Amino acid sequence: MSGEARKPPAGGAKDQVARLLALVPYLHARGQVRVDEAARALGVRPDQLVKDLKVLLMVGLPGGYPDDLIDVDLDALEGPEADGVIRVSNADYLTRPLRLTPTEATAIIVALRALRSGAEDDTRGIVDRALAKLEAAAAEANPQVDPGEDTADVRLSRLAARLQSAADQRRQVRMTYWVPSRDEKSDRVVDPRGVVAHHGHSYLDAWDHGAEAPRLFRLDRIDTAEVLDLPMESEPVPPRDLGEGLFHQSEDTRRVTLRLSPAARWVTEYYPVEAVRPRAGGDLEVDLVVADERWLLRLLLRLAPEAEVVRPREFTESFAEAAQAALSLYG
């Protein structure tokens, strides 16, 4: 075995993508550079670097035609006439200003804000500088941010940016929200926590003052939204992580099953529910996650007699006691 230290294996596709992301700007900034010099700078073996350069031949602009792809002089790297110098051409578009659609810009802004929440101080500073540039371009309609042609996407992107800005500034929002089950619009005042995405839809995670509970509002169902000059009243809470589903259950929550008569079916649209099961007579059996027993009791009192607790039993007993106490007030 040679006494020369062996480098770790280059890894799989994920590692190769990371190397390519570092390789392209490195070569573009230096022009022609020898393979061994570039390999040392990038921390890979020379033979692995050559393999990466062969992949780079298939990278470029959409279309896939020869003029769209980056060109690498492989004859200079392999064969009898090779001189070991990397020569890359047809990559001038890398110096062009980046053009983003509003949807792309908003997605990047939301992702950067999620990254910022758990980043170290040094990383947070870098993220803040990137956010400042993106937000300034979006707000001032910078030509580098392409407005695109889909007006619905443009509206949702601008709405998402406005709501996220309200959350960052801790300002209340008054909005008109369409409830499909009742085919009507309702006015809400909310404390926005942030914009999140799940399965192709964007949502506003917010504290709803009317419902006295956290809610998720689909952005495409928000008709109007006005940022108020009023500070948020609820405690500052980061937007929920939807990676495990819309209604991920924590240790502080309980799953409750309710049986709703047809007159109370609107609950499935007004409140977040985990599951809905049809029952005889047009009734629905729904599962919802409850973080505060007092909120559930207030909801049941509003719905009575159109709703009942199926399980757990303890909530049925608590509701019966609360209902009896409320009836005693009319004695």
**What's the token pair of residue 301?**
């009192």
Q: What is the pLDDT of residue 255?
A: 80
Residue 99 to residues 40, 69, 105, 321, Cα–Cα distance (Å): 33, 19, 9, 62
Q: What is the pLDDT of residue 175?
A: 93
- Residue 94 backbone dihedrals phi, psi, to 5 degrees: -65, -20
Domains of the chain by start residue, with CATH: 13-95 (1.10.10), 103-243 (no CATH), 247-328 (3.30.70)
**What's the token pair of residue 122?**
């040094």
What SS3 class is residue 77? coil
Pick left, alpha or beta for residue 70 (phi over 0 → left; psi -120 to 50 → alpha; otherwise beta): beta
The string of DSSP letters for 235-269 reads PP-PPPPGGG-TT---TT-EEEEEEE-GGGTTHHH
Non-local CB neighbours of 136 within 8 Å, separated by 6+ positions = 142
Do 223 and 155 form a contact (C-beta atoms < 8 A)?
no
pTM of the predicted model over 0.85 = no
Q: pLDDT tens string for the chain (331 positions)?
A: 444 444 444 556 667 777 777 777 777 777 788 888 888 888 888 888 888 888 877 776 665 555 667 777 878 888 777 888 888 777 666 556 666 666 777 777 777 777 766 666 567 667 767 776 776 666 654 444 444 444 455 677 778 888 988 999 999 999 998 876 456 788 999 999 988 876 667 888 889 888 777 888 888 889 899 999 999 998 888 887 766 555 544 444 678 899 999 988 888 877 777 788 999 888 999 988 776 677 777 888 888 888 888 888 776 666 666 666 655 656 5
**What's the token pair of residue 309?**
């607790």
Buried/exposed 154-179: b ≥16 CB within 10 Å, e otherwise: eebbebbbbbbbbbeeebbbebebbe
Could you give the CA distance from residue 59 to residue 95 in angstroms, rounded to a whole number? 16
Could you give the CA distance from residue 307 to residue 222 in angstroms, rounded to a whole number? 28
Q: What is the pLDDT of residue 47?
A: 87
Do 182 and 269 form a contact (C-beta atoms < 8 A)?
yes
